[in-house]
């Protein structure tokens, strides 16, 4: 079942935490316009000290699978493209 992680929009916005358990990968995909153009959604992992987030990749137009156990979030950059994200 698909779950919305980031509402479609253009402003910078972070999703809530996404917890990935061992052996349970999570697929995340872009949603919004037919052509994502310059849209960018970063994948960030939560560090072990202080709760900082570190960028470890991007969600591409074909989606990204989070395999490693941990706490992640998605972060939409303001590129002027209307985009959001969901998990499946």
Domain range enclosing 22:
3-87
> Of the ranges 18-22, 39-43, 60-64, which one carries the lowest mean pLDDT score?
60-64
The backbone torsions φ and ψ at residue 57, rounded to the nearest 5 degrees and listed phi first, read: 170, -170
pLDDT tens per residue across span 58-86? 998 889 999 999 999 999 999 888 999 99
- Quote the CA–CA distance of 1 and 72 in Å, as a whole number: 19
* Number of structural domains the chain divides into: 1
- Quote the CA–CA distance of 82 and 64 in Å, as a whole number: 19
Q: Is residue 55 packed enough to be buried (19+ CB in 10 Å), middle (13-18) or exposed (0-12)?
A: exposed
* Residue whose C-alpha is closest to residue 18's, from 45, 37, 36: 45
* Average pLDDT over every residue of 25-54: 91
pLDDT tens per residue across span 53-63? 999 999 988 89
The pTM (predicted TM-score) of the whole model is: 0.92
């Amino acid at each position: 079942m698909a779950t919305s992680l980031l509402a479609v929009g253009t402003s910078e916005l972070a999703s809530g935490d996404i917890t990935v358990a061992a052996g349970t990968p999570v697929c995340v995909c872009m949603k919004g316009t037919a052509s994502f153009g310059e849209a960018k959604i970063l994948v960030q992992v939560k560090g072990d000290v202080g709760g900082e987030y570190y960028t470890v990749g991007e969600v591409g137009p074909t989606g990204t699978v989070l395999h490693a156990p941990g706490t992640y979030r998605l972060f939409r950059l303001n590129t002027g493209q209307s985009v959001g994200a969901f998990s499946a």
